[in-house]
Amino acid sequence: MKKRKSIVLIGMPGAGKSTLGVLLAKELALDFVDTDVLIQAREEKTLQEIMAESGYLNLRAIEGEVIAAAHLPSHVIATGGSAVYSEEGMANLKELGTIVFLECSAEELRRRIHNYESRGIAKAPGQTFEALFAERQALYREYADITVGCDGLTMQQALDQLLSQLPSRPQNGGRAP
């Protein structure tokens, strides 16, 4: 079977990378992988356990290794929100395909996420949501090939918006690098 370019979803926790990623993979007949699951399987620990045992910087380091080593053509790849801290990892993902930033405002994310402190976000202790949002926003923008604004959209509307912004199928359907 021909290898196709992958689609890589980046964005803040709660932006919809994992949930929309599955729907997108089904729509495009691609495989789906969530790099959070790859990390957990490699470490045989949950993300929360990794952070509790060795800290958020170690989780980011492991995430960087996992995404730098990922060989995943013809996939929709949902990353964790902290993937953008790894330059090497993002370079590899960019080689695999199109990077899509699911952009939500801080207000929208606040409406979706009610467990900011306990969700296992890889952030410095005490860092506020607003500070983390600002720090990350710059990185998501830097890496994005496409930005999909998700505020106020239902899941289906966000999926439709994403599909309409993707490069057309013939461009998508070339051989993977």
Ligand X SMILES: O=C(O)C1=C[C@@H](OP(=O)(O)O)[C@@H](O)[C@H](O)C1
Site string for ligand ADP, 99-118 (x = CB under 6 A): -------------x------
The option from ligand X, ligand ADP, Mg ion, none interacting with 121 (CB < 5 to 8 A, set by class) reads: ligand X
Q: What is the dihedral of CA 5, 61, 19, 96, to 10 degrees?
A: 0
Tell me which of 7, 38, 47, 148 binds ligand X, using CB under 6 A: 47
The option from ligand ADP, ligand X, Mg ion, none interacting with 20 (CB < 5 to 8 A, set by class) reads: ligand ADP
Annotated binding site for substrate: 36, 60, 81, 136
Q: Is 153 in the site for ligand ADP (CB under 6 A)?
A: yes
The option from Mg ion, ligand ADP, ligand X, none interacting with 122 (CB < 5 to 8 A, set by class) reads: ligand X
- Residue 135: CB minimum distance to ligand ADP, A: 17
Q: Is 18 in the site for Mg ion (CB under 5 A)?
A: yes
Closer to ligand ADP by Cβ: residue 62 or 148: 148
Q: Which residue do the tokens 């207000």 mark? A: 107
Q: Helices 87-96 and 56-69: crossing angle, nearest 10°?
A: 30
- Residue 76: CB minimum distance to ligand ADP, A: 12
Whole-Å CA distances, 78 to 17, 52, 148: 5, 23, 15
Evaluate whether 158 touches 102 at the Cβ level (below 8 Å). yes
Evaluate whether 136 touches 83 at the Cβ level (below 8 Å). no
Q: Please report, as residue ranges, which positions from 91 to 150 form the binding site for ligand X (by CB under 6 A).
A: 120-122
Q: Is 16 in the site for ligand X (CB under 6 A)?
A: no
Question: Which residues would be at the binding site for ligand ADP (CB under 6 A)?
Answer: 11, 13-20, 78, 112, 150, 153-155, 158
Question: Which residues would be at the binding site for Mg ion (CB under 5 A)?
Answer: 17-18
